[in-house]
Amino acid sequence: MKTHLGRRPFSAMELHTLYNGYIYGDFKVAREQPKHWHFWLPLIAYYSGAYSDEIGYLTLDDLSLEKNVLCFNFHTHGKIKPRLVPVHQALINAGFNEYITFIKSQNQHRLMFDLPAKTGRYSEKVRIWFSGEGERAGYLQKCDIPNVDQLGMKTAISSLRLNFEQQVRIYALQANSKDAFNYLMGFNEYPYDVFSDTHLLNTVIQQIRIINSHLHWQRFITRESH
């Protein structure tokens, strides 16, 4: 009997576990086939609130400087609106600029260039890697986080959007701007296509809690085998 599983955000402890897991440590695990998107996609998801499909579609053209603020331009999800989301400083600290230089040096265009689409969608591949499928354990299981908790609530890569939503709601309301919250989430409650106060958006985004200040992409690509 299939019950309808509600999604829940990750707890603070689970976030700590995820972003201190082997992907963000010093050693590869047995039979791991590391991809650059394994490092970047969960980070971008947490700090931007974007769905994995939206992150999969990002290209170099979707990075823009708005009033001196570097932003992601998300515009590939049918259910939620296009929006500019400032890039969190934690991503820069994790080597995002170096990674962009690397992408260009490889003559690639998509940010997650080594994430293939399955049936025209990037999210399918991400789901299997993150949550597992059948006998195959995902990153969640390898971090000892259950897909479903005792209350029947489910965690998945999209749970990171719920973590983003929780935090952005607080910081946007503190800034006295429900519009900023609705815009950053891509909700229709914000009736316009453009949000002119990029600095307000940036103020809200930069307050998102940093989950691991030590992780870095260079460390990821130089990890040793166990």
pLDDT of residue 134: 87
pLDDT of residue 140: 95
Residues linked to residue 72 through DSSP beta bridges, in sequence order: 63, 85
CATH number listed for the domain at residues 12-145+153-219: 1.10.443
For 127, phi and psi rounded to 5 degrees? -60, -45
Q: How far apart are CA 191 and CA 38, in angstroms?
A: 35
Residue type, 6: G
Q: Which residues of the chain have a pLDDT value below 50?
A: 1-3
pLDDT digits (tens, 9 = 90+) for 200-217: 999 999 999 999 999 999
Tell which residue, 36, 42, 35, 46, has the closest CA to residue 88: 46
3-state secondary structure 125-159: HHHHHHHCECCECCHHHHCCCCCECCCCCECCCCH
Within the chain, residue ranges assigned H as helices are 12-18, 36-48, 52-57, 89-93, 96-105, 123-131, 139-142, 159-174, 178-185, 198-206, 217-221
Q: How far apart are CA 159 and CA 157, in angstroms?
A: 5
Structure tokens at 126: 């991400």
pLDDT of residue 226: 64
Residue that the structure tokens 């607080």 belong to: 170
Instruction: Count how many residues are written for the chain.
Output: 226
pTM of the model: 0.96
Residue that the structure tokens 């971090």 belong to: 143
Structure tokens at 201: 């958006």
pLDDT of residue 84: 98
User: What's the Cα-to-Cα distance from 223 to each of 18, 22, 23, 38, rounded to whole Å?
Assistant: 17, 9, 9, 13
pLDDT of residue 2: 44
Measured from the Cβ of residue 126, the count of other Cβ atoms closer than 10 Å reads 28
pLDDT of residue 58: 98
pLDDT digits (tens, 9 = 90+) for 131-140: 999 888 999 9
Helix (H) or strand (E) holding 73: strand 69-74
